[in-house]
């Protein structure tokens, strides 16, 4: 699921003794914003009206010709973060705010982020368009349906499910073993009741009766395929390679065998095109694709990132959850497949979250506690060290909260610099681009130094267990990996499918370096437990399931949906 910053609705400047003003809610800020026509936003980066497929006045898709005509030339920067906590980190907010700051500094900057899923919007985390005065707008439309990309993915995914069951119903010429069907159905909603169900209970004409399961759309292989495909032919080829199940002789059955890939591509042809919107300050943003970072590869689309690199001098992009998940997958999967050369990484942290990693309970975070902060800073230190293993210099963005003391802020900044990282305070939630100037200047200094020497963590030619072990020991700090018998069997099956030399996408809890969400900070003396490994043949990687990670989340006891409503005049309330 997506990250968001949970903060008090007030802020202050440490230099000022003036009373602290109250900040409106995110949706109120977004609704009060004066939006530029999207044609003006596009013109800022050299796009013409003919390059746009308009969705109203304030959002657009780029035409296929506009996407194909431009070649990447800009400099790529990843924004990642520490392991998330209920205290909030604000990774998307910092990405947008620093992008606004770089624009203030006269740079031609493109921001490339993921699309929100309806699951978190109506669940517990809210939207994923930034926060405060560092948002992407129109915020309500981006969070609710947007340009229909998620619906297109849902339709294409479930078309394949329907064709699969229809094939079995009409004679099963391919000899598919209903006990070995691996393709689930999908829905973009948190619904635990759909994790394991029965279908086909309607008698002779109700289709085959079998066990079934749903995954949330950000965990669908179609989402991963859309985000890694380079064009329509590549998209159709990838869709055809999807493994939907196996025959009684244990031979793979693919979407191409069901003659499904052509129709699926038609449903996805517009969804493959990047979406252009703007920040609160009127700068251009590409919002496209939305795989989760804990159960999928957690990056926006390759098409959007490359387009951003063609349109801007600097591209800021974010990857889901902490650097142990999103950043590792960004480097080892997306950059490898897209031949991208990132030149820097920003890692976002907060005093509050670091204190939680140091053992402080959420209700006590407002009390200064430098000792707990120092205990929790080992989490940030490990992420900084891990990012350096990929050959990119690191800037620590310390996202400021109202309750942070000067001593606490200074402690984190001094520690980050002692690790040879650049570091600066971020106040973008309260001050927009102005509050990101310090981080922006540190980032520009890193880029000017030109010391990046990007390299993936592992060679894909290594055996699957070895690649998993390298990720677990080098990035998570585990002592080793334990593979369940089912995982070893699945690994052998992946190798038989010709997927032994692909990258690995780890599905693991986002809250800890380990696969146990209760182990905060920088745990030691643990092992990673891999219970299964599944092929994502169309995406081009295998997925290793560690611990008790779920591919279909559930709603909380009090979901956000309970407080969201629309007024008769169309004004939305409760969306954040």
Each residue's pLDDT tens digit, 268-298: 999 999 999 999 999 999 999 999 999 999 9
pLDDT for 25 beyond 90: no
User: Across all residues in the chain, what is the average pLDDT?
Assistant: 93
Query: What integer pLDDT is reported at residue 22 of this predicted model?
Result: 66
Question: What does the alpha-carbon distance between residue 544 and residue 535 come to, in Å, rounded to a whole number?
Answer: 9
Per-residue pLDDT averaged across 192-198, rounded? 95
Calculate what percentage of the chain has a pLDDT beyond 70.
95
Find the mean pLDDT for residues 35-46: 96
For range 456-461, the mean pLDDT: 98
> Is 234:216 a contact under the CB 8 Å cutoff?
no
> Rounded to 5 degrees, what are φ and ψ at 89?
-125, -45
Using CB atoms within 10 A of its CB, is residue 366 exposed (0-12), middle (13-18) or buried (19+)? Answer: middle
Residues in the chain: 576
Q: What CA–CA distance (Å, rounded) separates 313 from 22?
A: 36
d(CA 277, CA 37): 10
Can you read off the two tokens belonging to residue 41?
């936003």
So what's the pLDDT on residue 14?
35
Please state whether the peptide bond connecting residue 138 to the residue before it is cis, i.e. omega within 30 degrees of 0: yes
End-to-end CA distance of the chain: 15
Res 393 pLDDT > 60: yes
In the chain, what's the furthest Cα-to-Cα distance? 78
Q: Is the dihedral of CA 178, 181, 183, 184 positive or negative?
A: positive
Q: Name the residue among 326, 413, 313 with its Cα closest to residue 81.
A: 326
Beta strands in 218-351 (DSSP E): 243-247, 252-254, 275-279, 284-287, 314-318, 344-349
In whole angstroms, give the CA distance from residue 79 to residue 399: 13
Looking at residue 187, what is its pLDDT?
Answer: 97
Which of 9-13, 205-209, 473-477, 545-549 has the least mean pLDDT? Answer: 9-13
pLDDT, position 124: 73
Q: How many CB atoms lie within 10 A of CB 486?
A: 13
Q: What is the pLDDT of residues 306-324, one digit of tens each?
A: 999 999 999 999 998 999 9
Q: Could you read off the pLDDT of 345-374 as tens digits, one per residue?
A: 999 999 999 999 999 999 999 999 999 999
Q: How much is the average pLDDT of 387-397?
A: 98
Q: Which domains does the chain have, with CATH numbers?
A: 26-33+66-145+273-449 (3.40.50.300), 149-268 (3.30.1510.10), 464-546 (3.10.410.10)
pLDDT interval class at 205 (50, 70, 90): confident
pLDDT (0 to 100) of residue 20: 44
> What mean pLDDT do residues 380-402 have?
96
pLDDT at 378 exceeding the cut of 70 = yes
Residue 87 pLDDT? 85
pLDDT single digits (tens) 414-436: 999 999 999 999 999 999 999 99
């Amino acid at each position: 699921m997506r990250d968001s910053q949970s903060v008090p609705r007030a802020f202050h400047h440490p230099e000022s003794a003036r009373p602290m003003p109250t900040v409106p809610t995110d949706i109120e800020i977004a609704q009060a914003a004066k939006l530029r026509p999207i044609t003006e936003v596009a013109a800022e980066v050299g796009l013409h009206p003919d390059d746009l497929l308009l969705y109203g006045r304030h959002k657009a898709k780029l035409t296929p010709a506009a996407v194909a005509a431009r070649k990447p030339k800009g400099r790529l920067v990843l924004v990642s973060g520490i392991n998330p906590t209920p205290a909030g980190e604000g990774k998307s907010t910092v990405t947008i705010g620093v992008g606004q700051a770089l624009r203030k500094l006269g740079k031609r900057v493109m921001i490339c982020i993921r699309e929100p899923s309806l699951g978190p919007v109506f669940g517990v985390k809210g939207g994923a368009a930034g926060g405060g005065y560092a948002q992407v707008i129109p915020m309500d439309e981006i969070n609710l349906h947007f340009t229909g990309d998620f619906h297109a993915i849902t339709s294409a995914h479930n078309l394949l499910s329907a064709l699969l069951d229809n094939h079995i119903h009409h004679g099963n010429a391919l000899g598919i073993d209903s006990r070995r069907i691996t393709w689930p159905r999908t829905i973009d909603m948190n619904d635990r009741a759909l994790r394991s169900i029965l279908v086909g209970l309607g008698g002779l004409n109700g289709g085959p009766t079998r066990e079934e399961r749903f995954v949330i759309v950000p965990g669908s292989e179609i989402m991963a395929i859309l985000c890694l495909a380079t064009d329509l032919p590549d998209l159709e080829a990838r869709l055809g390679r999807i493994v939907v199940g196996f025959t009684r002789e244990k031979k793979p059955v693919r979407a191409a065998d069901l003659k499904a890939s052509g129709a699926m591509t038609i449903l996805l042809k517009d969804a493959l095109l990047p979406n252009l919107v703007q920040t609160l300050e009127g700068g251009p943003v590409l919002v496209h694709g939305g795989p989760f970072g804990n159960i999928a590869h957690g990056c926006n689309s390759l098409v959007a990132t490359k387009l951003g690199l063609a349109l801007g001098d600097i591209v800021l992009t974010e990857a889901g959850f902490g650097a142990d998940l999103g950043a590792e997958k960004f480097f080892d999967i997306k950059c490898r497949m897209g031949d991208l050369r990132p030149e820097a990484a920003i890692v976002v942290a907060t005093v509050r979250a670091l204190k939680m990693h140091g053992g402080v309970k959420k209700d006590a975070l407002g009390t200064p506690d430098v000792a707990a902060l120092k205990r929790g800073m080992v989490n940030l230190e490990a992420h900084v060290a891990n990012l350096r293993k990929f050959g990119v210099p690191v800037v620590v963005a310390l996202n400021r909260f109202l309750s942070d003391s000067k001593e606490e802020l200074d402690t984190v900044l001094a520690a980050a610099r002692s690790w040879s990282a650049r570091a600066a305070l971020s106040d973008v939630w309260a001050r927009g681009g102005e509050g990101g100037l310090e981080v922006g200047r540190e980032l520009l200094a890193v880029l000017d130094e030109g010391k990046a020497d990007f390299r993936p963590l592992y060679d894909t030619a290594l055996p699957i267990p070895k690649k998993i072990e390298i990720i677990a020991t080098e990035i998570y700090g585990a002592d080793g990996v334990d593979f369940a018998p089912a995982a070893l069997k699945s690994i052998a099956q992946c190798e038989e499918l010709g997927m032994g030399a692909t990258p690995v996408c780890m599905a693991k809890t986002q809250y800890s370096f380990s696969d146990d969400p209760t182990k905060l900070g920088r745990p030691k003396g643990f092992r990673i437990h891999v219970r299964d490994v599944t092929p994502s043949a169309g995406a081009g990687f295998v997925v290793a399931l560690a611990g008790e990670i779920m591919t279909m989340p559930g709603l909380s006891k009090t979901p956000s949906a309970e407080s969201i409503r629309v007024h008769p005049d169309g004004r939305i309330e409760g969306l954040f």
